[in-house]
């Protein structure tokens, strides 16, 4: 049964961002070192978005992570441009992430190495990854 109270929408709706406070994992020891907020929390979010393959893990929603499907075995130039587009798409759902710049890539043997900077509301976050193409 729904409540009978009326909701007044004449003044509009105000959306508020949730705080980015989260547990911070130490990348060296792989242990939680406490809670963090701001730039540190966003840096960790970027790291997780880049390292989690979209649609593969049920613990994450379908709009979380990066879609790497179909890059394996593709032509290197296509893989680089498609990876850039997919990374930009992966950053869209998080309102703290504003975009990406300085996207560079290189090929060595059968691997594609990329580096880029993610623009956030707390400052820039440098990141990168390597994708095996064969």
> What is d(CA 39, CA 54) in angstroms, rounded to the nearest whole number?
24
Please count the structural domains in the chain.
1
Reduced to 3 states (helix: H, G, I; strand: E, B; else coil), residue 12 is coil
Q: Specify the CATH number for the domain of residue 67.
A: 3.10.450.40
Residue 10 lies in a domain: no
Residue 17 lies in a domain: no
Residue 16 lies in a domain: no
Mean pLDDT (the chain, rounded) = 87
Residue 30 lies in a domain: yes
Residue 83 lies in a domain: yes
CB 33 within 8 A of CB 26: yes
> What is d(CA 37, CA 60) in angstroms, rounded to the nearest whole number?
21
Look at residue 5 in the predicted model and tell me its pLDDT: 67
Residue 11 lies in a domain: no
Residue-number span of the structural domain to which 113 is assigned: 22-132
pTM given for the model: 0.79
The per-residue pLDDT for range 74-113, each reduced to its tens digit, is: 888 888 899 999 999 999 999 999 999 999 999 888 788 9
């Amino acid at each position: 049964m729904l409540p009978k109270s009326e909701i007044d929408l004449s003044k509009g709706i105000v959306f508020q961002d949730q705080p980015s406070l989260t547990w911070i994992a130490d990348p060296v020891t792989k242990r939680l070192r406490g809670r963090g907020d701001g730039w540190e929390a966003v840096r960790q979010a970027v790291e997780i978005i880049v390292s989690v393959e979209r649609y593969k893990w049920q613990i994450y929603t379908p709009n979380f992570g990066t879609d790497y499907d179909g890059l394996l075995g593709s032509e290197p130039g296509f893989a680089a441009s498609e990876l850039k587009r997919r990374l930009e798409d992966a950053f869209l759902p998080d309102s703290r992430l504003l975009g990406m710049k300085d996207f560079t890539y290189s090929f060595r043997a059968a691997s594609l190495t990329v580096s880029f900077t993610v623009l956030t509301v707390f400052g820039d976050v440098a990141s990168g990854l390597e994708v095996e193409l064969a």
